[in-house]
Amino acid sequence: MSKAVILLSGGLDSSTTLYHAAFRGHDCHCLIFDYGQRHKKEIIQAKAIAQSRGCQSVCVKISLPWKGSALLDFKMAVPQNRALDARGVPVTYVPARNIIFLSFAASYAEAIGARSIFIGANAVDYSGYPDCRPEFIRAFQAMLKRGLKSSLEGKNIKVCTPLIHLSKAQIVKLAVKLEVPLELTWSCYNAGAAPCGTCDSCRLRAQGFAQAKIVDSALKAYC
């Protein structure tokens, strides 16, 4: 089994990515971040999801004291019922978040001898974050090739994005096929007892389930 590092946030996309990588036979090492986000719920759920697949996880605590995002600065409001096809990058964008997350993943992968990093980035039904797009992933991959010792030794670490070209409905169907415990996943940006249903993340998820004609078991679990 080849080792892989999986970026796991506890949401639908990263959980499906973990189950996909495990299904493909990887020995999955999950990397979870406590980065000052609005709530710890997604961290708790991420750990539970890793455990559900029998994978080990490590949670790294980091701080971004400069904030610059509604997910970090609690004085800023998370947009509600924003048009999902709105242009521009929303205020929930966290400066360089995926760049930082992938950088830690590269460090972890190199230290344990993993040759793959999996990230659930998606560029179809998404919020327009620049660090979810294929051109960013390609550029990050090229950068790793120049910056890691393992690359000098001819052992490149590959960044895998199995969901990048899927619609949210296709991701939902894949999750069901892979038996992802959907009731454990948490996508909402807010910290309520149940998902708010109005943030971008809740609405993209709901749209995906509706288009896939599948009932979201998480809604039943939390509500």
Q: By the criterion CB under 8 A, which residues form the site for a copy of itself?
A: 58, 60-68, 89, 93-100, 103-104, 106-108, 110-112, 129-131, 133, 135-136, 138-140, 142-149, 151-152
Amino acid (1-letter code) at residue 82: R
The first and second tokens of residue 70, run together, are 């509604």
Cα 55 to Cα 139: distance, rounded to the nearest angstrom: 29
Q: Min. distance of Cβ 27 from a copy of itself in angstroms?
A: 15
Q: 86 or 99: whose CB is closer to a copy of itself?
A: 99
Minimum distance between the CB of residue 145 and a copy of itself, rounded to whole angstroms?
7
11 token code pair: 């949401």
The distance of closest approach from Cβ of residue 92 to a copy of itself in the complex, given in angstroms and rounded to an integer, is 11
- How far is it, in rounded angstroms, from Cα 177 to Cα 81? 30
CB 21 to a copy of itself: min, Å: 18
Closer residue to a copy of itself in complex, CB, 12/114:
114
Pick from 203, 195, 199, 189: which is nearest to 219 by CA? 195
Rounded to whole angstroms, the Cα distance separating 129 from 121 reads 10
Query: Which is nearer to a copy of itself, 54 or 88 (by Cβ)?
Result: 88
Q: Which two three-digit tokens encode residue 89?
A: 């990058």
- DSSP summary character for residue 130: G
CB of 168 to a copy of itself, least distance (A): 22
In whole angstroms, how close is the CB of 220 to a copy of itself at the nearest point?
Answer: 36
If the CB atoms of residues 67 and 115 are measured against a copy of itself, the closer one turns out to be 67
Q: Judged by CB, which is closer to a copy of itself: 133, or 168?
A: 133
Closer by beta carbon to a copy of itself, 149 or else 213:
149
100-to-35, 59, 64, 92 alpha-carbon distances in Å: 10, 14, 10, 16
Q: Which residue has the tokens 């964008």?
A: 93
Question: Given the structure tokens 């980065």, which residue do they identify?
Answer: 35
- Nearest approach, Cβ of residue 201 and a copy of itself (Å): 18
Taking the least distance from each CB to a copy of itself, the nearer of 165 and 177 is 165
Residues contacting 190, CB < 8 A, separation 6+: 38, 39, 78, 196, 199
